Structure formats: C-alpha cells, structure tokens
Amino acid sequence: MSPMEARLQREQRKPRLDVRSHVSVHDMGNTASRMLLNEDAFVSMLYLERRRVERAGNRFVLVLVDVSRNLAGISNRDRTVQVLTKSLAEATRETDIIGWYVQNNLIGVIGTELGDATNEVVQERFLERLRNIFELKMGWEKSSSISVSFHFYPEESASGAGDHTANIKLYPEMQKREDARRIPLAIKRCIDLAGSAAALFFFSPIFAAVALAIKLTSKGPVLFKQERLGQHGKTFTVLKFRSMRSNCDAKIHQEYVKQFIAGQVDGNSEAAAKPVFKIQKDPRVTSIGRFIRKTSLDELPQFWNVLRGDMSLVGPRPSLAYEFRAYELWHRRRVLEIKPGITGLWQVEGRSRTRFDDMVRLDLKYARAWSVWLDLKILAQTPGAVIQGTGAH
C-alpha cells in the first residue's frame, strides 16, 4: 500500500463533524437550491458582515421579512417555509444570505455589495421584486400579510442630526448577550445604586467646598450640563462641576478632538509626544478648574447620573455627539456595547495618556470581558489612579 493510500484510509476512518446550522431548501424549479440558516447561524453571519464592512468600507442592507401571520396555526408549516424561502431565493442574488432572524417569525436577508445605488433605490427595487414574487408564488391574500423592513449598515445620520440612537435591529447578538448576563447585570446595577448613593452622601462636604470655590472665583453656574451619548447612542445630560469660564466656544475642542481621533495631532507638540484627550493648558479653564480636573473632583456630580441609571460606576467614557460623528465605524462599538461609566479600563491602565485607538481597544476589551469581578477590580484601582493624577488635565 502506498503512503498516499494509507493516508486516505486514515482520513476516512476519522469521525466527521455533523454541522446542522441550516435547513436545505430543495430545488422547486430551475433555481439552484439555497440554504435557510437557523437563528444562531444567521446572527453570527450578520455580526461577521458588520466586521467586514468596518474593514472594507462597503455597506449592506438587512431585510427583515415578517412571516409570523403566515405560519401561525397551520399544519403544513415546513411546506410554507419552503415556499417563502424559494420566493426569497428568486428575489435575491445567490451571494445574499437568507436565514431566521427570529425563528418562525422573522426571516432575514443580508444583501451585500450594494454598489453606488442609494438606499432609497435599493429599497424600492428590492421591495417591488419581493412583492411580485410573493404574489406569484402565494397569491395576493397570503402575500399581503407579509411585512418587510429595511435596515442599512453603516447607519446614516446627517452631520447636524441630534439623534445618534443605534438601530438595534442590526445588533441582535447584543440583546442575546444581555439576556445571558441578566443576573450579573442586575448585580452590577445594585452595586451602582449602592456605590453612587454612598458617594453622594459621604462626599457631600467636598461637594459643598468645591461648589463654594467655583462660585467665589468665577461667574456662572456651579454645575456644567452637557449632552452625551449613552449605551446604544441614547442621549442624556451629564453633570460635572464647571471648570471653564461661562459661555466658552466649544469649537476649539471640537477641532482638537477630530484631529486627535484621526491621529493628526501636531508631531512637534507636547500633546503628540504624550497624547491626551483633553487640550493641555486650555485657556478656557479657570484656576479652580485646573485643580478639580487634575484631582478628578469635577467628575463627582456624575454619581447622580449613575443613580439615575444613565451611567454606571465602571464603563467607557461617555461620548459627545461631535466626537461620535468623527469616529470610524469600529470606534462606534464603544458606545453600542455597554453603558458608559465614571471610571474604566483606560482610566486605570493608561488614563488619558494613550492614543485614541488604544482607548477604544481598552473599552472594547472591557465590554467583551466584562464581569462583576472585573468591575470590582477596576473600582479598587481607581483611587490610586486618581491620587497619582497621571494623565489628568
């Protein structure tokens, strides 16, 4: 027996992995058979397609076809599913992905490589084709009970738009992950409630002292209120002790942030050698403001945001809207994946003396590896980072 034949025999004796991640839809005409992925497989493909878009800069459309009324209370469900999938196979390209978005309720189609066609044109053409094929295969009465929705990625928003809320339909794995973490997340919320309430009580003398110092040294309100983006891009009002003069122009910070996120900080500047998210020696900051920033006392009112549920004790730094608009696609995951916090991995491991991409990687690392124990570990390290004051401005 030759070595090649012996190797083939060994390969044939090895156990085979039986993968059942889809239902085969048999050929009912001249169209090649397609696969209807199950829910877990389809959600995984949607996740991977978003990652491809982040790297390649393309876009795709998620089409959700609600077939729940067609499948409710019928005996020949498998036959109906085959007809529906056959119709979708004829209405889509062979490279498009078809599967259950929600088992026996919503069928999803991932349409890739959209080219230069606008979202409106893609939706109009796709919907017309679906309507014609469904009516042909199922009749007008049954096809009229099917509803279709379109969800494009990347999500588009006007440059001046105030709503940056994520289309959660594009991120079904996040809801699944939160469902799996339901008990640990409840514990995290209890820690947030207890910790923020205790901090507001025990730090009340410091609150009074800082408020008095701000009031005596500069005109304007004690507290600074600013719109920030919470989890999934929902806006909330963050509270801080005011560290700047009143009515300052934010354009200087907006321009700096855009350059910092893009890695375009002047290479000859001190900021480039030791990058920071805040402007060093900002002329808008008051004398008291420099002190409370250095000691992070300006962040104390955010314990009220934690008590309200807008923030957590531990999480990524909450983003400004103009920061978010300057983000690359993969940067936006830091806003989507977990609730923002007062302290986090980048505050205790590098504070603000890291590149922006490194900050985001630390935030995403935290979101992936999150646990109650990790939160407790970060909280224990935070006082040391604050006392050292490394990177605070």
pLDDT tens, position by position, 92-114: 888 899 999 999 899 999 998 88
Whose CA is closest to 341, among 369, 321, 313, 365?
A: 313
Q: Are residues 145 and 179 in the same domain?
A: no
The last residue of a domain, from among 96, 124, 154: 154
- Given a cut of 60, whether residue 69 has pLDDT beyond it is yes
Q: Are residues 190 and 71 in the same domain?
A: no
Alpha-carbon distance of 264 to 255, in angstroms, equals: 11
CATH number, residue 136: 3.30.70.270
Please provide the average confidence, as pLDDT, over all residues in the chain: 82
Rounded average pLDDT over 205-218: 92
Q: Are residues 124 and 178 in the same domain?
A: no
- Given a cut of 60, whether residue 376 has pLDDT beyond it is yes
Q: Are residues 141 and 236 in the same domain?
A: no
Q: What is the pLDDT of residue 157?
A: 59
Residue 373: inside a domain, yes or no?
yes
- Given a cut of 60, whether residue 3 has pLDDT beyond it is no
Q: What is the pLDDT of residue 249?
A: 64
Q: Are residues 142 and 178 in the same domain?
A: no
Taking the CB of residue 310, how many other CB atoms lie within 10 A of it? 21
Q: Quick check: 108 and 101 in contact, CB under 8 A?
A: yes
pLDDT tens, position by position, 150-199: 999 998 754 455 678 889 999 999 888 888 899 999 999 999 999 999 99
Taking the CB of residue 88, how many other CB atoms lie within 10 A of it? 23
Q: How many domains does the chain have?
A: 2
What φ, ψ does residue 62 adopt, rounded to 5°? -100, 115
Q: Are residues 127 and 178 in the same domain?
A: no
Half-sphere exposure of 165 (CA within 13 A, CB side): 7
Local confidence band at 4 (pLDDT 50, 70, 90 cut-offs): very low
Extract the runs of DSSP E, i.e. beta strands, from 262-347. Answer: 312-314, 341-343
Q: Which residues pair with 149 in a beta bridge?
A: 64
Alpha-carbon distance of 334 to 361, in angstroms, equals: 9
Local confidence band at 391 (pLDDT 50, 70, 90 cut-offs): very low
Q: Are residues 247 and 366 in the same domain?
A: yes
Alpha-carbon distance of 113 to 232, in angstroms, equals: 26
Q: What is the pLDDT of residue 29?
A: 46
Q: Quick check: 316 and 335 in contact, CB under 8 A?
A: yes
Q: What is the pLDDT of residue 353?
A: 53
pLDDT tens, position by position, 261-310: 877 665 444 444 444 555 555 667 888 888 988 888 999 999 999 999 99
- Per DSSP, the three-state class of 61 is strand
Residues 6+ apart with CB under 8 A from 209: none
Q: Quick check: 214 and 297 in contact, CB under 8 A?
A: no
Q: Are residues 250 and 355 in the same domain?
A: yes
Whose CA is closest to 250, among 202, 282, 273?
A: 282
Q: Which of 201-210, 284-293, 322-331, 344-353 has the highest mean pLDDT?
A: 201-210
- Given a cut of 80, whether residue 363 has pLDDT beyond it is yes
Q: Round the CA-based radius of gyration of the chain to a whole number and report it.
A: 27
Tokens standing for residue 96: 């498009």
pLDDT tens, position by position, 226-250: 999 999 989 999 999 998 877 766 6
Residue 51: inside a domain, yes or no?
yes
Alpha carbon distance, N-terminus to C-terminus of the chain: 75
Q: Name the pTM for this structure.
A: 0.78
Q: Are residues 348 and 244 in the same domain?
A: yes
Residues 6+ apart with CB under 8 A from 258: 322, 326
Q: Are residues 146 and 61 in the same domain?
A: yes
Q: What is the pLDDT of residue 236?
A: 94
Alpha-carbon distance of 202 to 322, in angstroms, equals: 35
- Given a cut of 80, whether residue 217 has pLDDT beyond it is yes
Judge residue 309's burial from the number of C-beta atoms within 10 Å of its C-beta, 0-12 exposed, 13-18 middle, 19 or more buried. Answer: middle
- Structural domain of residue 32, as residue ranges? 19-154
Residue 275: inside a domain, yes or no?
yes
Only one residue has tokens 């990625």, namely: 153
Tokens standing for residue 329: 């696609």
Local confidence band at 66 (pLDDT 50, 70, 90 cut-offs): very high
Tokens standing for residue 337: 């994946």
